[in-house]
Amino acid sequence: MPGSIDLLKEKGRRLRIHSLRATTAAGSGHPSSCLSAADLVSVIFFGEMRYDPRDPGNPENDRFILSKGHAAPLLYAAYAEAGILEESQLITLRRLDSDLEGHPTPRLPWVEVATGSLGQGLSAALGTALAARLDKLAYDTYALLGDGECAEGSVWEAAALASYYRVSNLYAVVDVNGLGQSQHTMHRFDVENFAEKFRAFGWHAVTVDGHDYSEIIDAFAKCRREGGPKPRVIVARTFKGKGVSMLENLEGWHGKPVPKQDLDAALAELSEPYGSDGFRPNPRPRPQREERAVDIDIVINRKIGESVATREAYGDALAKLVEKNDRIVALDGDTKNSTFSERLLERRPDRFFEMFIAEQNMVGVAAGMAARGMIPFVSTFAAFLTRAFDQIRMAGVSRANIKFCGSHVGVSIGEDGPSQMGLEDLAMFRPIPGSIILYPCDAVSAERLVAEAARVRAICYIRTTRPKAPVLYANDEQFPIGGSKIVRRSEEDRVTVIGAGITVHQALKAADTLASEGIRIRVIDAYSVKPVDGATILAAAKQTGGNLIVVEDHYEEGGLGDAVLNAVGNAARVLKLAVREIPRSGPPEALLEAYGISSKHIVQAVKSLL
């Protein structure tokens, strides 16, 4: 390995010094969490990883993910010692105008995904490791975890999948310092317990003294030699605050910087340098990579009136897109026959990843894949995407280019009942900054919107419906993000009804009923829930006496109704039809009726406004 033990020890010393200085200057941060892992990070960055500090874009750089994101100062210190950052930047930690944030975000080119919500880094690392395989690249991925965060179930989701997929280019390092935030951890220093858990989950596990450089170096060598097809974990026994006696292995120091007046004394304990040569990176050669634009020009071939579920159209669109684009992959949580992501599996099995019933990990892996330039389409029932809200939230912080598809939305799924119904998914995705939410009502718009989602660089959420619905649109109809479609209009429209998905069809049915009674209504398909087409809606409101009805198969809070309310402000009167209580099992049509969003209810609502 490049560099001697003295080099590594010297780097470790300097990593500690940087971490202490930066957090004391910031007046906040987690120096004790940095100090426990400094020796591990030194070996990883200056002994094991192969990367070109001058070239963050080299696809063959090894990847490092700081799962214990609160040790951010340690990461920044490693970047400085590698020549990636200027050492003078380190002192800007946590300042408003600094990219060295309290927890790492991809504002920094070397940070794959934002971390800081514990237990998510191993999933992201699995994602980048799988991306390496798909891209036929040789890089390894390293993830540094804390011991406390291994209580998070998402760690074990990632562990199970990594071993199932024989992801041997993945190295986890667990910093077992025995102390959590508010007290000791469950297992304290029992590194063998961690190792046994990982082994039971199919990993090759080695335990070490996390402050003994020889042991750490040997452990990596052992893993490379003996790991075989298994992912590798090094479980390291460490001390929080190691190297500074006022901190070392003492409770009460989590998240506390060394006070200014005590800093010199602390640094004095780290003042003996190790004589060594400098760090010499050992990057892999940069492969030629062609960046190709996403080709979304898919051919849609439906007949008006044909009965197709939008969830099925999602699958068809995915299959068409994967033929044209080598960055598109699909991930699904054992629902592929329901979400129809299986259509991509049938077309290109190498691009499909069965993630089993583990949605948190599925989303975290997608974030890692997106960081490596893939375009992951993640699907399951909309209700089960709530299982991964924290991962979705962090994907938002990462601005990860992930496309989500939630199927089986609303009461319209029928007899399976509320546990399977997505009724709060719009409320979940709307607050994610920069998110785009698309809710097609027919197969043509569904296919086109899946393609639009593939093209745009943003978190997208596509809502699909279980029951079949008639095709409304011509095959060459365009559906720009932020647009809408007026699907019924006349010169005598007295109310505008806005729907999306299944409620567009209910609204058209209501329009027919009302027309037979001499009442005309405008019907808008708000297929773009976010951004919502405020201009068209406001114009329609103006032309229909300020009368707007919004009807959605979603709870009343946070969905399409609120999107419209925000768009119109007080320029119109908005009547919201939505689900207002926990629904029960029953036939789909009966549930639409029971929960106030059927065509009958729309008719009544229109009449109530007139």
Q: Of residues 252-291, which lie at the interface with a copy of itself (CB under 8 A)?
A: none
Q: How far apart are CB 166 and a copy of itself at their closest, in Å?
A: 12
Tell me the C-alpha to C-alpha distance, in Å, between residue 158 and each of 170, 199, 284.
Answer: 11, 14, 27
Residues 134-153 that bind a copy of itself (CB under 8 A): 148-149, 151-153
Q: Which two tokens stand for residue 235?
A: 């479980």
Among positions 1, 56, 95, 610, the unique one binding a copy of itself when judged by CB under 8 A? 95
Task: Give the span between the Cα atoms of 515 and 595, in whole angstroms.
Answer: 24
In angstroms, give the least distance from the CB of 288 to a copy of itself: 34
> To the nearest whole angstrom, how small is the minimum distance from the Cβ of residue 141 to a copy of itself?
20
Q: Which stretch binds a copy of itself (CB under 8 A): 124-132, 270-278, 370-378, 557-565?
A: 557-565
Stretch that binds a copy of itself, among 20-28, 51-59, 213-221, 262-270 (CB under 8 A): 20-28
- Which residue has 């406004």 as its token pair? 609
Structure tokens at 303: 């007949």
Number of other CB atoms surrounding residue 287 within 10 Å: 12
Interface with a copy of itself includes 189 (CB under 8 A)? no
Residue 338 near residue 407, CB atoms below 8 Å: yes
User: Is 593 assigned a catalytic role?
Assistant: no
| Distance of alpha carbon 605 from alpha carbon 610, whole angstroms | 9
The pairs formed by 190-198 with CB atoms below 8 angstroms and a separation of 24 or more are 191/235, 191/236, 191/237, 192/235, 194/147, 194/150, 194/233, 194/235, 195/233, 195/235, 197/150, 197/156, 198/159, 198/172, 198/233, 198/235
* Distance from chain centroid for Cα 508: 36
Told to check if 538 binds a copy of itself by CB under 8 A, we report: no
Residues 487-506 that bind a copy of itself (CB under 8 A): none
Give backbone dihedrals phi and psi of 266, rounded to 5 degrees, phi first.
Answer: -65, -45
Single-letter code of the amino acid located at 562: D
- Binding a copy of itself (rule: CB under 8 A), the pick from 245, 301, 307, 566 is 566
Q: Is 570 in the site for a copy of itself (CB under 8 A)?
A: yes
108 binds a copy of itself (CB under 8 A): no
Please select the residue that binds a copy of itself; options are 483, 531, 534, 546, rule is CB under 8 A: 546
Annotated catalytic residue, options 342, 359, 552, 556: 359
Selected binder of a copy of itself within 246, 282, 356, 520 (CB under 8 A) = 356
Binding residues among 300-339 for a copy of itself as defined by CB under 8 A: 332, 334-338
- Check if the beta carbon of residue 380 is closer than 8 Å to that of residue 339: yes
Q: How far apart are CA 398 and CA 537, in angstroms?
A: 32
Smallest gap from residue 549 Cβ to a copy of itself (A): 13
CA distance 263 to 508: 71
- The residue among 317 and 432 lying less far from a copy of itself, judged by its C-beta, is 432
How many residues belong to the site for a copy of itself (CB under 8 A)? Answer: 114
C-alpha 489: how far from chain center: 40
Residue 416 binds a copy of itself (CB under 8 A): yes
Stretch that binds a copy of itself, among 76-84, 386-394, 452-460, 513-521 (CB under 8 A): 386-394
Binding span for a copy of itself by CB under 8 A among 111-119, 124-132, 267-275, 368-376: 111-119
CA separation for the pair 323, 334 (Å, rounded)? 23
Q: Is 62 in the site for a copy of itself (CB under 8 A)?
A: no
- Among the candidate windows 59-67, 116-124, 313-321, 492-500, which touches a copy of itself by CB under 8 A? 116-124
With CB under 8 A as the contact rule, the residue among 282, 386, 475, 543 that binds a copy of itself is 386
Residue type, 346: E
* Ranges of H-type helices in 269-371: 310-324, 336-339, 342-347, 359-371
> Residue 5 or 151: which CB sits closer to a copy of itself?
151
Question: What are the catalytic residues?
Answer: 359
